[in-house]
Structure 1
Amino acid sequence: MASLHTAFLPLFLHICLLSWSAWAKVEVTMHESVEVYLDDSAQIPCQYSFTDANNEPSFVMIQWFVRGEGSSSRVRIFYLDGQERIADNDTDYTGRINVTSDQQGAQLTILNVQVSDEREFFCQVNGLAAGNAEGKTHLRVFAPPEAPVIEGVQTGISVTNELPSKVASCEARNGFPKPNITWYRNGMPLIPAPGYVKVLMLVTQDEKRFSSLQSTLEYKVVKEDKDAHFSCEVSFFVPGAIRTVESSSINITVHYPTTMVELWKDSPQGLVKEGDTVELRCQGDGNPPPPFIFNREQEQDVELESSGDVLILSPVSRKDSGIYQCRPLDTDGYSEVKGEMQLTVHYLDPAVVVPKDSEVMLKGEDLTATCNALSSLKTSTVWYKNGQQVGKGNTLHLRDATYDTSGEYVCEVTVPSLPALHTSGSVHIIVQGGPQMVGVEQEVQLEEAAGRMVNLSCEAQGHPLPSISWNIIGSQNWQEVVIKANEHMTHSVVSVKVTSDVSALCNASNDMGTEVKAFSIKAIPRLTSTAPFSPAEGSGVIIVVIILCLLLLAILGSVLYFLHKKGKIPCGRSGKQEITKEKTTKDDIVVEMKSNTKTEDTVLLKAVNGDKKGPNEQ
């Protein structure tokens, strides 16, 4: 009986299940995929329901499965029913998963998601009489790669290469899933094109399934790429989006031939004069900069010695003026491309003055002096005498020459546009003529008390240098106390003792003539009294005597002066004076006077107004 019961129970349950299946049916709903970042937690929900809500089973069993890595088999990782919740042991998810449930479903939580967790997860629901149903969700894991690193080629790339050349490489490391790399030139994407752009990709994967991508750009460069900037951009998937990260930009070195050359004067600034050091610099648009060769247009076969791109000319002269050229010496050899410039070396020759050195002219004559200096630029000429400007221009006119006209005339020639250029010349003018007394008075009248000493001064100029002599009438007691002479003038001073009326003549003479200056000294007698007298008795007599004396002296002086003019009276000196020069300078002559008197003493006279007594008073 017991065995019959045991055999009948499964059949009964089967019949019950069949009957219940007619009453209700289970349905499972899951997301197609769930996306999550690496190391985050993933929640995979599993919702179920029954077709007949009034006949829901009282017992529901849920099992979670995962598809094996690299296979089609499935492995159960979790089991739960109304009373038990069991995580399977010895699986990849033991200790990392948790399941929560309610009457509508269950949710699987995976902690610390790894790349290896990107699989399909299955939720299976068993509702007894309602039957079985399951759903699946694909778990997607995302790991952003590191920032891209770009590296350009270190060597230059020539535009003459026929095929694209390697320009740069870009690497994005440790991303999941595999990232992608795009190349840019000046912010514009480079599209692969045969013969112009070629992109090579290399993908590597480590044991953790992280992908690293290395991209190489091959590009046919042109001259304009010398200023271009290249960069790479990595794009990668993240949950619900696509993100990009751009690398830094690089500039490549492009080699191209020289197509244009410029030559200019680097120094000195401004105009060039003889004696300067000139630097000519040559520059082309080729890269790398080629060496240059220099030459002059009129001597193209003669290569000038230079240093790289600089030609130094030192010191320059006017013969260095001309057109200079420079040419690049590219790897392909001699180039027809050239740069050229005109170099002008300015000059100023020494001044030529006519008349030269010195010129003698007669008093009253006119003279024209010229000063010229050959120059490559416009000049300016100014004449100076004693530091004062006396003329301007190449020609100096001297009219109605006087002794003041004599002297040195200097002409200075300058170049206004190039002040460093200047020269000068000079001419010495000598005015020749007879003596000319200094001062406007030709006759000087004086009055002096008898017995006093009077100094008479006489100064004359002329060329040749005049000599001065004295004729003195009315005094035997006189002497020359000063005699001075310089290049243009003679100065003499005599000291005369007034004993009576004196007439003195200063005679200045040279080969061109004679000039005389006269001095007239009226002696005033000194009055003395020997006895007292009454003013009432003697005043009239004294007045009459004084008047008579004055008249007599005036008449006597007039007669003597008249006789002297007529030559009736000889020189008042009994003998001739002999002048011996002891020391002579340009501006001062001190003389020794010898007189044919009994004593024949020698007197050294140094002052114009000295109070020395003549030999006759010793």
Structure 2
Amino acid sequence: MEPPGARAPRLLLLALLLGAHPGVQAAMQVSVAPLVEVMRGETVTLDCTPLGDYSQYQLKWFLADRSGTRHLLAEAQVQGSEVQARVHASRGRSPPYQLQGQGHLVLVEAQVKDERDYVCVVTAGAAGTAEATAKLQVFAKPETTDVSPNLGTLSVMDDSAQEIATCHSRNGNPAPQIKWYRNGQPLQVPMEVNSNSYMTSRTVREASGLQSLTSTLYLRVHKEDRDARFHCSAHYRLPRGQHGHLDSQAFGLTLHYPTEHVQFWVDSASTTEGWVREGDSVQLVCRGDGNPTPEFTFYRLQGQEEKTLSTNLHGNFTLEAVQRNQSGTYGCRALDYDAAEEAELSQTLGLRVAYLDPIELSSKEELTVTLGSSVTVTCSVQGRPAPALRWTKDAAPLADGPTLSLSSITFSSAGTYVCEAYTPTVPLLSRTRALKLLVEGVPELMPEKIQPQSGGSWREGDEVRLVCSARGYPEPKFIWSEKGESSTEPVPGGQGWVRSSLTLKLTSAMSQRGVFCEASNPHGSPRHVFHFGHLAPQTSQAGVAVMAVAVSVGLLLLVVAAFYCMRRKGRPGCCRKGEKGAP
């Protein structure tokens, strides 16, 4: 058994607990949701239900302000199924409070100002009094998040944190939390001021009761931030533990950082070995990795001296119609006074100008040789880099190198030969020189075979077309032994061949002596004779012609006789044999 002195403190502790929780009554209890969450503008209903079977009780709703003072809002007298409800004061709220059913407090179009403690007190006669408190929380999604970046130039040489941007989130409830991001990754930024990074935050409660938050980011910037993308995001809470966020637009920074390296190159058509063609315009380009762009000086090294060519901010220098004497070493220097001593602010490159002089031939451009002889022609050229030479004819390669050698020359050897100089390492740099070769000699004669039209033998009076072709230099002239319709023309693609044709009718005299063609030039006159053999006579054709004439005359006589009889029609004895007509 406990001593009386030990039981007294326990009873006192129980009494204090019961006093601290007025909703806990021995004979009376009330059910009220301790926390009610609603979106701004929605209708909310606060329920207050006595626990037990009470036929008669009184229910009152109080509004507890921040000082703890209670203000009566509404009350209801419940007797069985009858309810007498009365709203005492709305305390300036619009729309006013409503009391529905058996004591349900209704707030239409919930506002942030409605965030209060609402106390429900129920009295049930001998059962006593019980009360419970419902805390109302109103949520509002903030407006679009916007950001105001620093539009100035930030120096990476500054050893303290500089203002980056200010982020705004307006008209939300509860106040959102603003987070900062770089390249999509969250920044862990403290609120304490330091030289590397920090942020400041300020919350303003608007007249509507909504809250607006402003956050300013401070960072010590580095050169790596020149391409970084920053943005801020407002993270807010919603009823039932939900969350959301609104991102601002991304932005970049304008940084000032000194030049550390310089790049120098030829921005024109050139080979991998650095050759450029004589006569081309060559652009030299110099770029530094600093910002703002420094001033660039272009120069050419001549021995140990530098000859300044140009100084500008755009970093370009053009050599118009470059010549071979402009080959050499060129340099570029960035003038950046903020650069570190170890920075590489100068670069050089070697410019090599490729060229080809006109091709020289060891002979004239038009060379005449004798049929059956030999000839050797060489071509030469000066150029840099060393060019290659080759000979071609009709686009077909003949020989690599400067020498063209021809032996046992024929008429087919005549034509145009081309010496081409080219540089394999420099595309499109080439030259050509043409050599026209003429071959003198007795004309070469080539007749075309002939066949009788009937496939048997030639007949007297047959028409025949005789063709002779010849070539040589000078160009041969044709002579035919017979007269007829003749023509002379070049043979298309015939390598100097000329063709002559003669059309005539065969006679018996031709069967004996034939018909010849002759191709003549100062070196000779070759001849070819066309033979036709014995010509068959044309008798069968003459007999047919005579018979045709006789038949025609006989028919004409019959027609005349018939006409005469018709004229004497009607006279006795007309047209009868041995009978005379009346006088």
TM-score using structure 2 length: 0.59
Match of 1:422 in 2: 431
Code of the aligned partner of 1:259: E
In structure 1, what is the equivalent of residue 477 of structure 2? none
Using the TM superposition, give the Cα deviation of residue 145 of structure 1 relative to its aligned residue in structure 2, in angstroms.
0.9
Q: 2: CA distance between counterparts of 1:174 and 1:301? A: 67
Matched to 2:39, the amino acid is: Y
Residue in 1 that maps onto 2:253: 252
SS at match of 2:226: helix
What whole-Å deviation, never above 9, does each CA across 1:37-68 have from its counterpart, x for those lacking one?
11112221222246xx6xx6x54222211124
- The counterpart of 1:394, out of the listed 390, 398, 402, is 402
Contact 1:29 1:135 in 2 (8 A): yes
In 1, the alpha carbon distance for the partners of 2:394 and 2:131 equals 127
Give the corresponding residue for 1:173: 170
Identify the residue that residue 374 of structure 1 maps to in structure 2: 382
Correspondence list, 1:180-579, <5 A: 180-192=177-189, 194-247=194-247, 248-270=249-271, 271-298=275-302, 301-305=306-310, 308-332=314-338, 336-354=344-362, 370-381=378-389, 393-395=401-403, 412-417=419-424, 418-422=427-431, 424=433
Residues of 2 paired with 1:113 and 1:205: CA distance?
17
Equivalent residues in 2 for 1:83-232, closer than 5 Å: 84-89=84-89, 91-93=91-93, 96-102=96-102, 106-192=103-189, 194-232=194-232
1:226 partner SS: helix
Query: Which moves more between the two structures, 127-136 or 409-418?
Result: 409-418
Matching residue of 1:489: none
- Give a deviation string over 1:310-361, Cα, whole Å, max 9, x none: 2211221222112322222225379643333332111123344557999999
Looking at structure 2, the residues matched to 375 and 140 of structure 1 have their Cα atoms a distance apart, in angstroms, of 91
CA distance 1:86–1:94, change in 2 (3 Å): farther
Q: Please state how far the C-alpha of 1:286 moved relative to its aligned partner.
A: 2.6
Residue 67 (str. 1) matches residue 72 (str. 2) = no
List per-residue Cα deviations over 1:214-267 (Å, max 9, x = no partner).
111111222222332222121222222252314133233333333232222222
Q: 1:409 to 1:370 in 2, by over 3 A?
A: farther
Match of 1:45 in 2: 47
On the 8 A contact 1:143/1:177 being kept in 2, the answer is yes
Note if contact 2:379-2:403 (Cα within 8 Å) is conserved in structure 1.
yes
**CA offsets, 1:490-520, max 9 Å, x none?**
xxxxxxxxxxxxxxxxxxxxxxxxx9x9xxx
Contact residue 235 and residue 242 of structure 1 kept, 8 A: no
Structure 1: stretches of 5+ with no match in the other structure = 1-23, 441-460, 462-514, 518-618
Deviates more, 1:299-308 or 1:118-127: 299-308
1:76 aligns with 2:85: no
**Partners of 1:115 and 1:134 in 2: how far apart?**
25
Q: In structure 2, the residue corresponding to 1:62 is in which secondary structure?
A: strand
Whether contact under 8 Å (2:260, 2:344) holds in the other structure is: no
CA contact (8 A) 2:328 2:351 kept: yes
Superposed displacement of residue 303, structure 1: 1.7
Instruction: Give the match's secondary structure for 2:171.
Output: strand
Identity, % of aligned positions:
30
State the partner residue of 2:36. 34
Residue 130 of structure 1 deviates from its aligned partner by 2.9
Letter in 2 for 1:72: G
Distance in 1 (alpha carbons) for counterparts of 2:125 and 2:38 = 34
Number of aligned residue pairs: give it: 407
Is the CA contact 1:158–1:221 (under 8 Å) kept in the aligned structure 2? yes
Deviations 1:185-234 (A, max 9, x none): 22322112532221111222221221111111111222222332222121
Amino acid at match of 1:233: S
Q: Please give the alpha-carbon distance, in whole angstroms, between the structure 1 residues aligned to 2:34 and 2:197.
A: 40
Q: Any conservation in 1 of the 2:38–2:138 contact (CA below 8 Å)?
A: yes
- Aligned amino acid, residue 75 of structure 1: H
Q: 2:27 aligns with which of 18, 25, 43?
A: 25
Structure 2 Cα separation of the partners of residues 206 and 178 of structure 1: 11
Distance 1:95 1:182 in 2: 37
Give unpaired runs (5+ residues) of structure 2: 1-25, 445-472, 474-522, 526-583
* CA displacement 1:273-309 (0-9 Å, x = unmatched): 2222111222233333333222234466222126622
Cα separation, 1, equivalents of 2:387 and 2:238: 84
Give secondary structure in 2 for the equivalent of 1:267.
Answer: coil
Scaled by the length of structure 1, the TM-score of the pair is 0.56
User: What secondary structure sits across from 1:344 in the alignment?
Assistant: strand
C-alpha distance in 2 between matches for 1:44 and 1:437: 128
Aligned in 2, Cα 1:244/1:395: closer, same or farther, shift over 3 Å? same
Counterpart of 1:98, as a letter, is Q
Structure 2: how far apart are the matches of 1:367 and 1:188?
A: 82
1:415 maps to amino acid: Y
Over 3 Å counting, the alpha-carbon distance change for 1:113 and 1:393 in structure 2 is closer
1:396: how far off?
5.2
CA deviation map 1:93-114 (0-9, x unaligned): 5863233455xxx322221211
Determine the C-alpha separation between the residues in 2 that align with 1:235 and 1:385: 82
Letter in structure 2 aligned against 1:239:
P
Q: Secondary structure at the match of 1:221?
A: coil
**How many Å apart are 1:403 and its aligned residue?**
13
Higher mean C-alpha displacement, 414-423 vs 270-279: 414-423
Q: Say which SS state the counterpart of residue 383 (structure 2) adopts.
A: coil
Output the CA distance in 2 between the equivalents of 1:142 and 1:90: 22
Which position in structure 2 is the counterpart of 1:607? none
Mark the CA change 1:125 to 1:343 in structure 2 (over 3 Å): closer, same or farther: same
> What secondary structure does 2:174 align onto?
coil
- Structure having the higher Rg: 1
| Partner AA of 2:330 in structure 1 | Y
Moved more, 320-329 or 346-355: 346-355
Once residues 399 and 355 of structure 2 are traced to their aligned partners in structure 1, the CA distance between those partners, rounded to angstroms, is 24
Contact 2:90–2:96, Cα closer than 8 Å, also in 1:
no
Equivalent-residue separation in structure 2 for 1:175 and 1:107 (angstroms): 28
Q: Deviations over 1:511-551 (max 9, x none)?
A: xxxx9x9xxxxxxxxxxxxxxxxxxxxxxxxxxxxxxxxxx
